[in-house]
Amino acid sequence: MNSLFGGLITSKTRIRILMRLFLNPKQHAYLRELAGEFNVSPSQVREELQHLNSAGLLECEKSGRQINYRANKEHPLFPELHSMVQKALGMDRILDSIVERLGNLEEAWLIDDYAEGKDAGLIDLVFVGDINQENLSDLVMKTEQYIGRKIRTLTLRSDEQQALNSLLANRPQLLLWQRKHGQ
């Protein structure tokens, strides 16, 4: 185990790949897409993808001429890496504060760049329920200072969410939190 961790965090490109693929394990990416996004050479990305794939942390699937990579959810380290990525991006702190202070929250969604695992500096969140707007504004301001990223929010009631589902369906999205029945 120690040799895997010792070799896991050896380059910025490797860290960026882990962040990109482990935040939302449903998303996949291919070599040239990652190289363009990270502004590095495809050979750098290829080497890192090969290391992560040989360690079993990634799954790959050929689609035409390109190979798509995604996080291997079956790897024993997946839960820890997924959690580390969420913590690194501040998602754990955002969620803890949101659930406690927003009122009658039904769902919290991460959309757009962060839902794809891209650290673009602007976090887009959609909250569904009867949300306390004053607490939300205060929470956003404090959280932005704490995590060093901007947060943009959209609040919807359940009926409004139903009406907007078709607009949001084509955007990358990740369910962060959902009230369990009886909560």
pLDDT tens sequence across 116-137: 878 788 999 999 999 989 989 9
Same-domain status, 132 and 64: no
One domain, residues 15 and 70: yes
CATH of the domain at 166: 3.30.460.10
Specify if 183 maps to a domain: no
Same domain flag for 28 and 14: yes
Instruction: Provide the domain limits for residue 16.
Output: 2-83
Q: What is the pLDDT at residue 93?
A: 67
Which stretches of the chain are DSSP H helices? 2-8, 12-23, 31-38, 42-54, 78-88, 91-101, 133-147, 158-168
Q: Indicate the number of domains in the chain.
A: 2
For the record, the structure tokens of 161 come out as: 């969410």
What would the pLDDT profile of 50-71 be if each residue is shown by its tens digit? 999 999 999 999 999 999 999 9
Identify the residue whose tokens are 């890192």.
Answer: 48
pLDDT at 139: 86
| Mean pLDDT value of segment 82-105 | 76
Mean pLDDT taken over the chain = 84
